[in-house]
Amino acid sequence: MVNDTYNNNLGAELGWDDVISEESSFVLLDPGTYDFTINSFERKRYNGSAKMCACNMIELSLSVEGQTIKDRLYMNKKAEWRLSQFLVSIGMKQKGVPCKPNWNAIPGAHGRCELGVHTYKKDNGDESRYNEVKAYIEPDGGMEPSAAAAVPQG
């Protein structure tokens, strides 16, 4: 390898004489309901659009059936319902009860979600598909909360 320092976001350069062995592990999951675990949680900034003002954004990396699914949650009143749905799904918030999230407890938390398949056209005109989170699902009565409790508000 030309540069043996690997960066998770950028990868590492391969040399002309390096052995090529890595295969794609991407598998498109069928639409349906799945358990997930949160691999990572990043605080980012959304620059805004014609439909929503600039705001803080959460970028999630979820592990579902051995696949990585990315999702974004927007810290905007317009999308507050989805934040609430997510927090309920990981057991951090009770449905109908306001709370202040414990953001540090999110990595490693688990819950259930409904996955769909998003189809789009690449720049070259080819069609491509990937899994997307359609909804986060409230745990049933027997499921133990996976994340530390949030601070109740009211």
Q: Which amino acid is at 63?
A: S
31-67 pLDDT tens trace: 999 999 999 999 999 999 999 999 999 999 999 999 9
What are the angstrom distances between the C-alpha of 145 and each of 1, 91, 140, 142, 148?
Answer: 44, 4, 10, 9, 8
pTM strictly above 0.85: no
66-102 pLDDT tens trace: 999 999 999 999 999 999 999 999 999 999 899 999 9
* Residue in 39, 77, 67, 71 with CA at minimum distance from that of residue 58: 71
Out of 15-19, 35-39, 102-106, pick the least confident: 15-19
Give SS3 for 28.
Answer: coil
